[in-house]
Amino acid sequence: MTEKIQLPNRPLADRMRPVNLKDFTGQEHLVGKGAVIRNMVETGSLSSFVLWGPPGVGKTTLAKIISNELKRPFYNLSAVHSGVKDVRETIEKARKQQFFDQPNPILFIDEIHRFSKSQQDSLLGAVEEGIVTLIGATTENPSFEVISPLLSRCQVYVLNSLGKDDLLALLNKALNEDAYLKKMDIKIEENEAILQYSGGDARKLYNTLELVIRAELAKDKAAVVITNDMVKKHIQENIAVYDKNGELHYDIISAFIKSVRGGDPDAAVYWLARMLDGGEDIKFIARRLVILASEDIGLANPNALLMANSCFQSIHVIGMPEARIILSETAIYLATSPKSNSAYKAINSALAEVRDSGNKPVPLHLRNAPTRLMKEIGYGDGYKYAHDYEGNFVTAQFLPDEIAGKQFYIPGNNAREKDIKNNLRQNWKDKKKYDE
């Protein structure tokens, strides 16, 4: 390298953002040949939709590409910074454009899951009347945070984390096409660490690459040879602060979940503090506690779900900073509770059976018989009403004939489920069900 190249302040991820579908990497199920979004672009027939996926997989980029390819006006609102007033002003601008026979504008809303109900309500009329075509982006399941009337007017498309081949393609593209990097002597000798730290996130991949290159250039090196150890060293030096823009979002919540599951209240509170100090959405944390209560504690302590749900409701009413106390109390309670994933395993096992064996007919004695004809052909015939028997229990067959005797729920090894197992074994002793 004969001259020292100065990297610009504009981030590499922004410099490498594609402007057309041809250059877009990943999400072939949406933008590949014959896929739904490519068809929309090629036919010009665009409907409102929500893009749901992790950070750095192309949600914002895809929305801008669609606007660019279809030559549609593009309005961009962030749920973090925009209120109802901003939404209404944007819709009014779009409404006025209708008089000039311009194409239907695209209204892109980033982090739409953070919009309040009133903000989402203000979108309904404009979407329904076709004043704007809405494209929302979210890292959260829209079923939880997008109101039903708005969700019913939009399709939901799921974006996946980028795979190894996609990430390698992005790396090569940056080194060969970026106006600054292509002038430098840069060689990636080992790529495992840089791929690992990216976590399937293109923005994180480019940020990591640029961080390493800047650090090496600061040493006045003529050439940069990237190795795994070099990447790890520079990342560890820059990882101390929780990234409010999402870089460590999934790493920290993963550590939090695993600490609660692992029964360590101190670690759980520490990771909770990291998230709160970094400005994490308290609803996001509370939702994870509800999931934890049912998936990892379950029947070992059913009160855990009540506690977590109460926490979720309470933080909506209280807000920060006091919500931190409610979240802490709940996290500690869940971390110190006995654990069982028996309910989680039972429903997964039952779903696997349904997918494997198909829709089996409901046994006649379990069918509802609201008409005389149904009674005459045997609906409900032979059904034994449990409350007519001692102990409110009677041995009967409740599964379809083809899978009679299948067991999906296996009680966990904890005090409460040992009692459940004993009761089940006593009740079902005739069929040896739940026997050891």
pLDDT band for position 407 (cuts 50, 70, 90): confident
**Burial classification of residue 216, based on how many CB atoms lie within 10 Å of its CB (0-12 exposed, 13-18 middle, 19 or more buried):** middle
| Strand, helix or coil for residue 74 | strand
Q: From CA 411, how far away is CA 157, in angstroms rounded?
A: 37
Give start and end residues of each alpha helix (H) in 178-217: 192-198, 202-217
Which amino acid makes up residue 412?
G
Of the ranges 30-34, 278-282, 305-309, 402-406, the best mean pLDDT one: 305-309
What would the pLDDT profile of 321-343 be if each residue is shown by its tens digit?
899 999 999 999 999 999 999 89
The β-bridge partners of 107 are 75, 134
In this predicted model, which residue has the larger pLDDT, 216 or 202? 202
Please report the DSSP string for 344-388 in residue order.
HHHHHHHHHHHHHH--PPPPGGGS---SHHHHHTTTTTT---GGG
Provide the mean pLDDT of the chain: 84
User: 358: alpha, beta or left, given left = phi > 0 and alpha = psi -120 to 50?
Assistant: left
What would the pLDDT profile of 109-153 be if each residue is shown by its tens digit?
988 887 877 788 888 888 888 888 999 998 888 887 788 888 888
* Predicted pLDDT at 400: 83
Q: In terms of C-beta distances under 8 Å and separation of at least 24 residues, what long-range contacts does 149-155 make, across chains too?
A: 149/121, 149/124, 150/120, 150/123, 150/124, 151/50, 153/48, 153/124, 153/127, 153/128, 154/47, 154/48, 154/49, 154/50, 154/127, 155/36, 155/47, 155/48, 155/49, 155/50
Average pLDDT over residues 159-170: 91
Of the ranges 141-145, 189-193, 257-261, 369-373, the best mean pLDDT one: 257-261
Specify the pairing of strand 224-226 against strand 155-158: unpaired
Is 90 exceeded by the pLDDT of residue 49?
A: yes
Q: Which residues contact 118 (CB under 8 A, 6 or more apart)?
A: 84
* Predicted pLDDT at 393: 79
* Predicted pLDDT at 169: 93
| Strand, helix or coil for residue 113 | helix
* Predicted pLDDT at 89: 86
pTM of the entire structure? 0.58
* Predicted pLDDT at 245: 47
Share of the chain above pLDDT 70, in %: 91
Q: In the chain, what are the domains?
A: 27-158 (3.40.50.300), 163-237 (1.10.8), 249-335 (1.20.272.10), 344-431 (1.10.3710.10)
406 and 353 Cβ atoms separated by less than 8 Å: yes
Q: Which residues contact 322 (CB under 8 A, 6 or more apart)?
A: none
Is 70 exceeded by the pLDDT of residue 240?
A: no
Average pLDDT over residues 9-37: 90
pLDDT band for position 165 (cuts 50, 70, 90): very high
* Predicted pLDDT at 268: 92
Q: Which residues contact 35 (CB under 8 A, 6 or more apart)?
A: 28, 29
Average pLDDT over residues 311-327: 90
Q: From CA 12, how far away is CA 21, in angstroms rounded?
A: 19
Is 80 exceeded by the pLDDT of residue 315?
A: yes
Share of the chain above pLDDT 90, in %: 28
DSSP classification of residue 51? E
What would the pLDDT profile of 362-402 be if each residue is shown by its tens digit?
787 777 776 777 676 677 777 777 787 787 877 777 788 78
Q: From CA 370, how far away is CA 17, in angstroms rounded?
A: 62
Average pLDDT over residues 29-57: 90
* Predicted pLDDT at 239: 52
In this predicted model, which residue has the larger pLDDT, 179 or 435? 179
Is 80 exceeded by the pLDDT of residue 405?
A: no
Phi, psi of 109 (to 5 degrees): -120, 110
In this predicted model, which residue has the larger pLDDT, 198 or 7? 198
